[in-house]
Every structure is written in structure tokens, then in C-alpha cells.
Structure 1
Amino acid sequence: MGIIAVAGGTGQLGRTIVEEILKRGGQEVIILGRKNDEVKAKEIGARIVAIDYNNTSSIVTTLEENKVETVIAVLNLMDGIEPELALITAADQSKTTKRYIPSCWGVKYSPELASISPLGAGKLAILHAVEATSLESTSVINGMFMDYYASPDMKTYIQPLALVLDMANNAAAIPGSGDVPVVFTYTFDIGRMVAALLSLPKWSKEYYIIGDRLTWNQIVQMAQVTKGVTFDVKHDSADTLKKGQVTEFSSHIPLYPFFPKEQLQGMLSWFGILYDNGNFDLRPTKEQSLNEIFPEIRLKSMEETIGSWKGK
């Protein structure tokens, strides 16, 4: 069986996926990174192979020398999509590489989403690039990371960020009506599903993972009951979101030296538009649903995740 390479496998979702593939067993995993890190490799339990995203031919050589059959991309695209485009080109040219999962986690990317966000446009460009190759590819669509709403006691590699709810400070900024369902999935459940997906002999164009489905109003109510306090609830209208603005949480302010306010507000407002438009209300067919294909994998609920705040 060919080797699995996870590009971005030392990062947040990437590391989670690597750990779950290793836990499932039966396949060797390597991490493609910009530099080698023996300490991190030992900590994760997977070899890190350094690649230069500016040198496509060297990536081809690396993939072939390591007999990489499947590439899973979990790259941070905030600074541009060129590294992933180079990786896709190299994977297509590699004689050993046959399968590819792009960095298009979250929602189904479309021209509509591309028209309202540079990030959406970049994701769509990546999808078009991989679809133009001879590689067998699939996108994994999982909704929002449930981890953002977990207490510090719950294991995650996702960096904390208050999105709609600031659980630690008992605040909420609901986008639109708050009555549109949103799908949430815990990252370790995504990792387990991806590990299982690798066992399928043939892939569909896209697969979905549904951890839980709730509206923001339901989640705020759940959070208030769990913590036994009344949240400070604000509402961000559709017009406010279209201006690139959201209600500022106190927990956002320390992020500004690393993630400028205008950029953070722009990203959060884009998410708010998608929530209110129903883009996170994922409705897969039975054939597209990894929940249906792997019913033995139990997924964490939002009630369990919010429940981790009980007594805190």
C-alpha cells in the first residue's frame, strides 16, 4: 500500500489528521513541511520531509523517492494559493502519486462564494486545478470546526478564536436571524473519517461529514443553560456583514498584532454571510455522506462540546 503524505501535517487540522491515520494503522504517513523538525516529528510520530514549494521538480522527486501514493493538503491559504498549486502540479507529474485531497475543507466552494471573498476565490481555483489533472481527487466538506466552542479541557490543536460565540466571556454576536442551521464537526472526528476514507477503493468527487447541525440561536441557548449565565447577545445584520464588519469581542483585541483588525473582521463577516445564507447547512446525498459510509464511527455532538464548559 502506498505512502500517505500530509502537507501541513504539523499544523492544526493537519496534525489531527496525521494522528488519526496513525491511530487507525495499516498505512505509513509522512508529513510534507517547509523544514525538517526532528523534535516535532518524534512528538507526532511521523517523519517530516522538507519541500520547497518554489521548486516543483524537487517536489516531484520527493514524492517519487518516498513512494507517495496519496497527498492530503491541509495548507494555510491566507498568504496565497501558489504553494498548493505547485503541490498539485508536482503530484500530477509524480509517477507514484495517484490521489489528492485539496485544502478545501469546510463548505462547498462555488463561483458565488468566490465572488465575495479572496479566500473563496482561492479555494475554487485550487479545486479547478486539481480537477484538471489525472489525479483521483475528492474534497472533504465538514462545516465549522466544533473545536472553537470547546473548553480548554477538550483536546484540540485548533487555535482559539471566538466565532459568533465567545464561550469564555459569555458573549455572542449572532449573524443575521440566527435561525439558519449550521453544521459543526470536531476535528478529531474529521481525522477519523479521513483515515477511513483512505480505505475506499474508489472516491466520489466530494464527501461530507456531519458532526451536528444546530442554529446559532439554539447554540446560544445551550451555552447559557450549560454555564448557568445569561450571555451578552448582539446581532450582526446582513448589511453590517456585507460591509465587512462584525461585533468585536474583547478576546479579538490581543490578536490584532498578528491578525490585523480589518483582516479579522473581513474574515469573520464573510463567515457570517455564509452562515446566514445557509452555506454551512450541508445536505449531502447518502452516497456523499461519510456518516452513512462509516456508521461505526461515532461523532461528537455540539451538546458534548458545549457541555465541556459546565462548571467553568
Structure 2
Amino acid sequence: MVTVAVAGGTGKVGRTIVEAIVAAGEHKVVILSREKPKENKLLEEEIGASVLAADIHNISALTELFEKHNVHTVISTLGMNGPEPIEIDIIRASEASQATKRFISSDWGLPHTEKHAAQANSANNKLRAQDELRKTNLEWTSIHIGFFLDFWGSSKSAAKSNLHTPSTFVDIKHRAAAIPGSGDVPVTFTYSRDVAKFVAALLNLEKWEEATYIIGDKVTFNEMVKIAEEATGDKFNVVYDSVETLEKGELSELPGHEAMFANIPAPKAVMKKVMSAYGLWAESGGFNLDESKAVNNVFPDIKPITVREFLEDAWGNEKK
């Protein structure tokens, strides 16, 4: 048993991972939070993990914290959309800590390239964090899962998930879709709780690769629309955005986007540019993860939910 610290462990992805590690019962888990511990007392009782107040930009204080609590592994689930890669100082503190040996970088998407980095700042930040990790003696990995399947859930499925972001490309609630490119390229979708189960299992592996692949299911966006139509019993209004349109940072707006644009502080044009980049990556095969490299092969007992199973469970009660 080792102590695992989850940066961002009170957030969406982070909390899901904390819950899975606690449920597995093989390692002690602590949460790094900017909030004072007393403000997280109820959360600690609910999740079953201690919350440690931490300044993630104070390297010396963070190093001392890691050593005091004998933190062996750090998992970062911090958002990477800011102007700089937010986890750099956590990486440096982990390297400085005598107790810390392993680090999982905040990726949770697809394996990025420098071309991606020029299209979206989050991709650039993830690559720069990996560059920093290569300078250390830490054993580390970035975890690629495709898209979180939760994003295409309903109010019913939201009750079981910590992720509630409005759907992109396929807006099931409003029976509409704006497909990037042809819509015929396979895309990986993985349910967050399945991701968390694999992460908990990954902690027991003796050796990590720099890239870890987790595959829940793979379908094309055209296939997803068909499955959603069958699950709801309704025909969808479908349009296609060409590669040329996406390259301009544009895409067709769906009814569900209005609420998303209203709740995110970034300008609408910036959000559309980021979303169009994801569309380009999907059409170019970036989300078509390689099954031969997946840790599904290492942990065959973990059976991820399929896209069809998830959508039928989430939306099937609306079928007339």
C-alpha cells in the first residue's frame, strides 16, 4: 500500500478517480485542495479521503507536504486550459520530494502532437508538462481515453457521474447533431467510472509506459447518431461541418451550446475554435486509439460500458 495524492481531487475527473481508489481499498488516497481542510470536512466524510490544503505553486511547501505524508504517487486531474501548464510546479515538487516516485499527468484525452499544440492551448500545456516530466527521475504516464462518454448522458445518467459537460457534436437532448468532417472515422469514448477503475488498477503495475491507453468503446459519430436515434426513438436533425469550415475555427452551433457558452468564461469565438480543433482531431483519426496498446488487455476483468449500453440506459426511458 502506498499513499496517492490527487491534485484536483474534489473536481469532476479527480473525484471520480479518488472514489475508485478508495473503493479498491489497496492504497491510501489524499486530495490536494486550495481550500482549508475544515471547509472540506463533510467532503472527507463523504468520499473517505483526507483533504490537504496545498498551494500548488509553492514548490518547497508542496515538497514538504509530500514528504510529511509519504506521498508515493501524484495524480494530476487539473484543468490544462490556462495560459501556462498548471502542473509544472507540482512536477518539480514531486521530483524534489524524497518520498515521491510516480506521476500521472493531467491528459485524459488523446495523444497530442505539436500540430495540436498550435491549434489549442490545452494541447500545448499537456505537451509542455510531459517535457518537464522527461527532465525528472519520476516514473510517469499520460492517460489517453478519447472522449468521456459521460458528456453524452442525460439527467438520469448525470446522477451517477461527476461529469456534466454539455455534449459536443451530438446533442441528444435536442435531437440534433453537427458532425465534424465525414463522421465515418472511429472515435474512442470511455465512461469516467471505467477510466477510474483502470487508474486504480494501474497503480499496482510494476512498470508504466509514458502513454497509457484506455478504451471504453469505439464508434463513428455517424454511428453514435444512429444509436442515439434508436435509444430515443426520435429522428435527429443532422448537419455536417467540412474540414475547411473547422480549419477556420468555425462549426455549426447546436441548441445545447447556448448554455455551455453562457457558463464558460472564455469568449464564444475561443470556445468555437477549441471545439472545431477537436472536430479536426476526430476526423484525422486522433481519437481512434490503438487497441493493441490499451491496458484493457492487461486488466481483462474490467469490462467498460459500451456506447450503446450507456445511451440506452441514459435515454431509453424517453423512447415513445
> Shorter-chain TM-score: which interval?
over 0.9
Q: What is the aligned partner in structure 2 of residue 15 from structure 1?
A: 15
Q: Which SS does the other structure have where 1:183 is aligned?
A: strand
Distance 1:113 1:79 in 2: 16
Q: Is the 8 A contact 1:8 1:14 kept in 2?
A: yes
Matching residue of 2:270: 263
Within a 5 Å distance, the mapping from 1:144-155 to structure 2 comes to 144-154=147-157, 155=160
Q: 1:98 aligns with which of 98, 101, 105?
A: 101
Q: Distance in 2 between matches of 1:75 and 1:81?
A: 12
Percent identical: 37
Matches within 5 A, 1:27-42: 27-36=27-36, 37-42=40-45
State the alpha-carbon separation in 2 of the partners of residues 164 and 43 from structure 1: 35
Task: Provide, for residues 274-304 of structure 1, a one-character-per-residue CA deviation record: whole Å limited to 9, x for no partner.
Answer: 111100001143xx32110000111100001
How far off its partner does 1:159 sit?
2.1
Deviations along 1:106-153, one digit per CA (max 9) or x if unpaired, are 111221211222211111101111121110011111111011112222
- Alignment gaps of 5+ in structure 1: none
221, 230, 246: which one aligns with 1:225: 230
Normalising by structure 1, we get a TM-score of: 0.96
Aligned equivalents of 1:78 and 1:204: distance in 2? 25
Q: TM-score, normalised by structure 2?
A: 0.94
1:12-70 Cα distance to aligned partner (Å, 9 max, x none):
11110000011111210000111132222222221111111231111101111111000
Determine if the alignment matches structure 1 residue 140 to structure 2 residue 137: no
- What letter corresponds to residue 297 of structure 1 in structure 2? I
**Which residue of the partner structure matches residue 306 of structure 1?**
311
Supply the RMSD in Å over aligned alpha carbons: 1.2
Post-superposition Cα deviations, 1:73-117, rounded to whole Å, max 9, x if no partner, equal: 000122244430000000000000000000011111221211222
Q: How does 1:1-312 map to 2 (within 5 A)?
A: 1-36=1-36, 37-154=40-157, 155-259=160-264, 260-285=267-292, 288-308=293-313, 309-312=315-318
SS at match of 1:91: helix
Runs of 4+ aligned residues of structure 1 deviating over 4 Å after TM superposition are: none
Secondary structure of the residue aligned to 1:213 is: strand
Once residues 220 and 254 of structure 1 are traced to their aligned partners in structure 2, the CA distance between those partners, rounded to angstroms, is 21
Q: Distance in 2 between matches of 1:225 and 1:48?
A: 44
Name structure 2 gaps, 5 residues minimum: none
Matched residue count: 310
